Amino acid sequence: MAVDNYDVKDLSLAGVGRQRIEWAYREMPVVGLIRERFAKEKPLSGVRISGCLHITTETANLALTLQAGGADVVLCASNPLSTQDDVAAALVEYDIPTNAIKGEDDVTYYKHIDTALDNRPQITIDDGADLVTTVHTKRSDLIADVIGGAEETTTGIIRLRSMEKDGKLRYPMIAINDAQTKHFFDNRYGTGQSTIDGITRATNILWAGKKVVVGGYGWCGHGVAMRAKAMGAHVIVIEVEPVRALEAVMDGFQVMPLPEAAKIGDVFITVTGDKNVIDEAHLKVMKDGAILANSGHFNAEINIPALEAMSTGKRTIRDFVEEYSLKDGRSIFLLGEGRLINLAAAEGHPASVMDMSFANQSLCAEYLVKNRGKLEIRVHRVPEEIDKEVARLKLHAMGVEIDTLTAEQEKYLSSWQEGT
Ligand SMILES: NC(=O)c1ccc[n+]([C@@H]2O[C@H](COP(=O)([O-])OP(=O)(O)OC[C@H]3O[C@@H](n4cnc5c(N)ncnc54)[C@H](O)[C@@H]3O)[C@@H](O)[C@H]2O)c1
């Protein structure tokens, strides 16, 4: 198709974007193998796909893989601050209309979603469910054409499951995040490393010796806590779920309620997917100079309106670092407007881990097309054979071989007769 439905910051950045996309591709061997097969077999021939994703080098490689499979792909951003403008420009050159500008306001953000939907998608790919909810609420005329959709992240899946529960979901969705080859790795090692990277790039703080409060000990929280500890930080975990809190204790972290942690933390990192986790009462007792960052999907985890109301003014002291001057004389520093800091101030997850997430996305797009009209309207798990295939290919690409069960072991593991 002719590329005309795009909106990017500056097309002249395309050359730099192209090189960075190529660099990331070197670390995405599984996506690479799928791309080679897609180019030959064209399993997505003529299928219109709209993707609402973080516009990063890794997403570009997903889009190019879907395109190699014959799809007609249009993209928009899934967060106003996560777009890499050079990548967006390069995507337009690759004939993938992209609607995304880093720092866009909410009106532009939703205008971009609308443009991506104007292509009348047959498959929607989301990271946070803004595209699918827009289809269901404002563009329901498009639903008749839709084969199905895929959702990348925990928060998006929570939204989809409540749509399903309320009887509002109108086409089948695949929960990519629930694949083991997604959340075991992407959420833990990807978010862990890149969150520390984002905060480091924004602030250049020394982690060693800092008291770092991690909000939520889920898959992302595991990664953030593990990596902060490895940098020499003293990590405190806050949780609301007893099993996860217990796990944090036994993993060697201090666990305490946030009202207590708020008084002693130097750096606070939320990764809960919840709202107002850091609230006015906590802001009131924080130390002068406390740093707040969020790596959860939405910028709702820190109560920013409360912080604004407590302040006499604010200034940008460094890129992505906002100093709030409080009425009582303290300063609190908010990073990246409370948006996911790994994408706002760094580059998001490293390509090697997105290789697995986006291999799942690519294979699930193929699965949706193959099963057109056959899937129930609900949130589906990634088929186990896809999950296992992604793990197998990743191990192969890493040059790692594993053992196989002997016939005797297979028989033993599927029987009950043999005991003590
Ligand atoms: N930054 C990124 O690139 C990135 C990547 C993957 C996921 N995410 C997002 O990160 C968030 C977390 O994802 P996850 O996969 O770790 O989810 P998860 O469900 O595994 O973990 C969330 C944890 O937060 C805890 N929690 C909820 N409310 C809390 C509160 N008020 N106080 C303390 N703990 C609370 C829950 O009990 C749970 O253990 C989601 O919004 C997800 O979409 C971001």
Average pLDDT over residues 200-206: 98
What's the token pair of residue 346? 């760094």
Dihedral of CA atoms 193, 194, 200, 202 in degrees, nearest 10, equals -170
Which pLDDT value is given to residue 204? 98
Residue nearest to atom 20 of ligand 1 (CA): 218
For residue 274, how far is its CA from the centre of ligand 1 (angstroms)? Answer: 7
Residues 138-151 have pLDDT tens digits of 999 999 999 999 99
Distances (CA, A) of 368 to 47, 104, 149, 155, 178: 11, 32, 8, 22, 16
CA trace torsion 169, 56, 6, 122 (10° rounding)? -30
Segment 33-59, tens digit of pLDDT: 999 999 999 999 999 999 999 999 999
What separation in angstroms does the CA of 337 have from each of 170, 182, 319, 370? 34, 27, 11, 42
| pLDDT tens figures, 379-409 | 999 999 999 999 999 999 999 999 999 999 9
* Residue 313 reports pLDDT greater than 80: yes
Give pLDDT tens digits for 243-253.
999 999 999 99
Model confidence over 74-112: pLDDT tens digits?
999 999 999 999 999 999 999 999 999 999 999 999 999
Say if CB 361 and CB 58 are below 8 A apart.
no
Between CA 349 and CA 195 the distance in angstroms is 9
- With contact defined as beta carbons under 8 Å apart, do 99 and 6 qualify? yes
Residue of the CA atom closest to atom 17 of ligand 1: 218
Atom of ligand 1 nearest to the CA of 349: 3
Instruction: Identify the residues whose C-beta falls under 6 Å from ligand 1.
Output: 153-155, 183, 187, 191, 215-221, 238-241, 244, 271-274, 277, 295-297, 340, 342-343, 348-349
In three-state secondary structure terms, 318 is strand
For the segment 210-230, the average pLDDT, to the nearest whole number, is 98
Query: How many angstroms is it from 36 CA to the middle of ligand 1?
Result: 35
Indicate the helix (H) or strand (E) that contains 34: helix 29-41
Of 271, 277, 339, 361, which is best to mutate to test ligand 1, by the most ligand atoms within 8 angstroms of its C-beta? 271
Q: What is the mean pLDDT of residues 358-379?
A: 98
State the distance from the centre of ligand 1 to the C-alpha of 386, rounded, in angstroms: 25
If you take atom 25 of ligand 1, which residue's CA is the nearest one? 216
Which residue has its alpha carbon closest to ligand 1 atom 37?
A: 241
Between the CA of 44 and the centroid of ligand 1 the distance, in Å, is: 33
DSSP 142-196: GGGG--EEEE-SHHHHHHHHHHHHTT---S-EEEGGGSHHHIIIIIIIIHHHHHH
pLDDT-derived band at 2, boundaries 50, 70, 90 = very low
Could you read off the pLDDT of 259-304 as tens digits, one per residue? 999 999 999 999 999 999 999 999 999 999 999 999 999 999 999 9
- Looking at residue 96, its pLDDT comes to 98
Atom of ligand 1 nearest to the CA of 156: 43
The predicted structure's pLDDT at residue 1 = 42
Rounded to the nearest whole angstrom, what is the distance from the C-alpha of residue 183 to the centroid of ligand 1?
Answer: 11
What mean pLDDT comes out for the span 320-341?
97
For residues 290 and 61, what is the distance between their CA atoms, to the nearest angstrom? 38
Pick from 153, 161, 268 the residue to mutate for probing ligand 1's pocket: most ligand atoms within 8 Å of its CB: 153
Pocket test for ligand 1, best of 54, 154, 270, 294 (most atoms within 8 A of CB): 154
